[in-house]
Amino acid sequence: MTKKLSRIFPVPKSGDEPLHSNGRPLGITLLDFWRWSSSDLVSNATRGILAEFIVASALGIELNDVRDEWRAFDLITPEGITVEVKSAAYIQTWSQRDFSRITFRIPKTRAWDADTNVQEKVPRRHAKVYVFALLAHKDKSSIDPLNVEQWQFFVLPTAVLNARTRSQHSITLRSLENLAGRAVSYNELREAVRKAAIEAAG
């Protein structure tokens, strides 16, 4: 008889949960793991997840839920707008000869359904709006990814990316500025996403 191994729906943790041996606490907590694994906020992987969190907070999204790593898009706003977040930064944790060249990857992907474990056959872009989050600060001694004033945000309807005649796999900052216009601030982001969604629907 085949067992049905349904998906797991994670619930938010407090950080106080102990590492244990069959119920016997080992004096180490989940918070210790978070500190160990996620304190480097400038690293590419962690910065990307932080960018999603920052954008989610700007868009008024409930932050008590757990991030869905495998969803076809990153976020969905209270208004029902699906959003994909891409991040980049001039500064990296490692030693640099110069600032990093800003390029955002925007490939079409094949969505995967966690409920059915089935992947779509045709790649596409699944969100209605893209938010490009640039950690624009250029001083290593004072960079702080938790400071939303060090970020810039560019917003585009997905249809604009789909209509590009240039690369469908990535976009440079210059091309993005030509398409999206000026960057918006953290406080302007929610309205910019709303307008982009209206433009996409029009």
Q: Are strands 82-89 and 129-135 parallel, antiparallel or unpaired?
A: parallel
Residue 6 falls inside a structural domain? no
To 5 degrees, how large is the angle CA 49–CA 39–CA 17? 90
Residue 14 falls inside a structural domain? no
Residue 88 falls inside a structural domain? yes
Residue 137 falls inside a structural domain? yes
Residue 16 falls inside a structural domain? no
Residue 1 falls inside a structural domain? no
Residue 7 falls inside a structural domain? no
For residue 47, give its domain range: 25-201
pLDDT tens-digit map of 179-192: 999 999 999 999 99
Residue 190 falls inside a structural domain? yes
For the chain, what is the mean pLDDT?
93
pLDDT at position 5 is: 83
Segment 60-86 shows an average pLDDT of 94
201: tokens are: 């629907």
pLDDT tens-digit map of 11-30: 999 999 999 999 999 999 99
CA distance 88 to 100: 9
Q: How confident is the model at residue 117 (pLDDT cuts 50, 70, 90)?
A: confident
CA distance 117 to 106: 24
Pick from 2-16, 17-31, 50-64, 168-182: least confident = 2-16
Q: How confident is the model at residue 137 (pLDDT cuts 50, 70, 90)?
A: very high
Q: How confident is the model at residue 116 (pLDDT cuts 50, 70, 90)?
A: confident
Pick from 18-32, 76-90, 133-147, 165-179: least confident = 165-179
Dihedral sign (CA 166, 191, 145, 107):
negative
Number of domains forming the structure of the chain: 1
